[in-house]
Structure 1
């Protein structure tokens, strides 16, 4: 098990299955703040962010598939997020980051409830601007899609019973440069939408891929739980069946090699 010491208030740990080298990269565990603070800046009320993630080393990537457990938590504030993301993070902070995130989240301030929602988001200017779900410009809902980003996920996992899972797939269509999003609840993913290539100026290929979870604690309130809320046990949340997608659209199967952070 990959062990990540997240410090104060973290109530859960993900058991994350990571993959063998492909197109130059592996997924590595990290609890670094750094660029994550661009994505989830602390609020004036003293917001604090915690991260449990794995990321690839810089290389060239064109897509990712993963299956993740879905959990529900009754919170009145803060935020819980689990997902996968692609971006072109650069060593020079003056170069704008382009990124797409997809997964599930509980975010009362945004959605007005404490339900678990399927979400997508993107940016092309290092998170200075961007949007969520159906509010996004140049959003193209796939023909016949019955899945709408931002809607609640009907069923969450029971920590003492059945696990509910979603499969997320992101990939770049070679012929158009558009980025396609697929989603499946306890089944194979179906096409949901795509982001037009013209939205981005640096996503012809991506340099980094990540998976994992983020929680945001606001003010003096306790941190929301991460994942299932049961760390280092057989009840811990999982992200499994991770695969990379090649430039020509082939899916490269993942292994279950795990690299422990020392």
Structure 2
């Protein structure tokens, strides 16, 4: 970065002393291009503002990064902290203070019992998991927060991200959904890819949504799946993630464990960590299981990942409408289209290929099920499909005896039919 010209202060011998003092104060700011203004002179004149910003960020990091009994280095650069379960961010919540995680609930009837396997890069590389009584948490860094431009924005969807929200023209979806009944959970296996995301402030995700309320300010959602988000994580790895909100993404909720809410019980899965392995075009395919369901006994919403790993739960008191049941279940892909170059983004959804290309090329969801009032997994009836911009990203559904209800979806974004 260019420095201020020295010619402007040669005529006054007292000014260089002041200049050195101001530059010294500004050093932490100038060393980080993410904080710099277009003019270095403005930076030199505003060190106090930037130092105060850094101070706020470091205070926030002390709050969100809990003391670790062990730290594991991941090859993607992540630090995974093993934090005692009762010290995790959830227990900062006033209604959870002094409590401990609940015991696992009864899984829904009809749930396949499988051997539990973790599919994350940090665990695969190190061959380790966190000790019993602790949970793995991806450490948040200054760089993570600085990419979001503000603490308020970090870890949150400021703009709304649910289909049907006409105010969210920059969010595009290719989804399958059911509504018109009372739902107590959902399950699916989701194909994992590494879609290209062309702008730092865009993302590409594949997830299931558990939804209740209207699509106004009282919207409640619970979400889980995988996402590529350069702004949130600083790279292009697909990562296991969760999200929740009770007021349409306005003031409540967050990604992963970046606020108090979700209670984790698992010592092998780090929410927000990279998934490995991943699918390859016209080669090996890899998918993960996601199940969210409401515990009939306590009413909390539980999450299972992979092939049987119980991750934790969202306490029912976090929600308004979801304290009882969901009114819609949604599966599929979502991207953000900022049009930063003046035309439609080339950010990919799923594999980056359209649904018609089928297995090994297009991304898929398979074995779609919902949980009914009797805590039983049942097939879907009356599945609806919707693609906001089918020339950019599309969806095509089917059903057979092996995959049950399934669909292919996704696309490349900008192309000759999606200008």
Once the two structures are superposed, what CA deviation does each residue of 1:125-163 show, in whole Å capped at 9, x if it has no partner? 111132000113132112x44112111112210012111
CA contact (8 A) 1:80 1:216 kept: yes
Match of 1:138 among 234, 255, 261: 261
Measured in 1, the distance between the counterparts of 2:297 and 2:303 equals 16
Is 1:245 the counterpart of 2:367? The answer is no
Bigger relative contact order (CA 8 A; separation at least 6): 1
Measured in 1, the distance between the counterparts of 2:197 and 2:376 equals 40
Is 1:201 the counterpart of 2:325? The answer is no
CA contact (8 A) 1:81 1:104 kept: yes
Q: In terms of Rg, which structure is larger?
A: 2
The list of structure 1 runs, each at least 4 consecutive aligned residues, that deviate by more than 6 angstroms after superposition, is: none
Q: Residue 146 of structure 1 aligns to a residue in which SS?
A: coil
Match of 1:217 among 327, 337, 343: 337
Report the CA distance shift for 1:228/1:258 in structure 2 as closer, same or farther (over 3 A).
closer
Match of 1:163 among 263, 282, 285: 285
Report the CA distance shift for 1:145/1:252 in structure 2 as closer, same or farther (over 3 A).
farther
Measured in 2, the distance between the counterparts of 1:36 and 1:249 equals 34
Measured in 1, the distance between the counterparts of 2:311 and 2:179 equals 28
TM-superposed deviation, 1:258: 8.0
Whichever structure has more helix as a proportion of its residues is: 2
Once the two structures are superposed, what CA deviation does each residue of 1:172-195 show, in whole Å capped at 9, x if it has no partner? 0011110001000xxx23101100
TM-superposed deviation, 1:247: 2.5
Q: Which runs of 5+ in 2 are unaligned?
A: 1-161, 382-398, 400-404, 408-419
Measured in 1, the distance between the counterparts of 2:278 and 2:163 equals 29
Measured in 2, the distance between the counterparts of 1:258 and 1:118 equals 21
CA contact (8 A) 1:215 1:223 kept: no
Is 1:174 the counterpart of 2:296? The answer is yes
Measured in 2, the distance between the counterparts of 1:36 and 1:209 equals 19
Query: Aligned residue for 1:63?
Result: 185
Once the two structures are superposed, what CA deviation does each residue of 1:6-52 show, in whole Å capped at 9, x if it has no partner? xxxxxxxxxxxxxxxxxxxxxxxxxx953274xxx46xxxxx32210
TM-superposed deviation, 1:54: 1.3
Query: Aligned residue for 1:82?
Result: 206
Whichever structure has more strand as a proportion of its residues is: 1
Report the CA distance shift for 1:151/1:55 in structure 2 as closer, same or farther (over 3 A).
same
Q: Which runs of 5+ in 1 are unaligned?
A: 1-31, 43-47
TM-superposed deviation, 1:112: 1.0
Once the two structures are superposed, what CA deviation does each residue of 1:209-237 show, in whole Å capped at 9, x if it has no partner? 10010111221273311111121213111
TM-score after normalising by structure 1: 0.75
Measured in 2, the distance between the counterparts of 1:238 and 1:214 equals 13
Measured in 1, the distance between the counterparts of 2:371 and 2:299 equals 14
TM-score after normalising by structure 2: 0.48
Matches within 5 A, 1:98-109: 98-109=220-231
Report the CA distance shift for 1:139/1:258 in structure 2 as closer, same or farther (over 3 A).
closer
Once the two structures are superposed, what CA deviation does each residue of 1:65-91 show, in whole Å capped at 9, x if it has no partner? 101100013435221011101111327
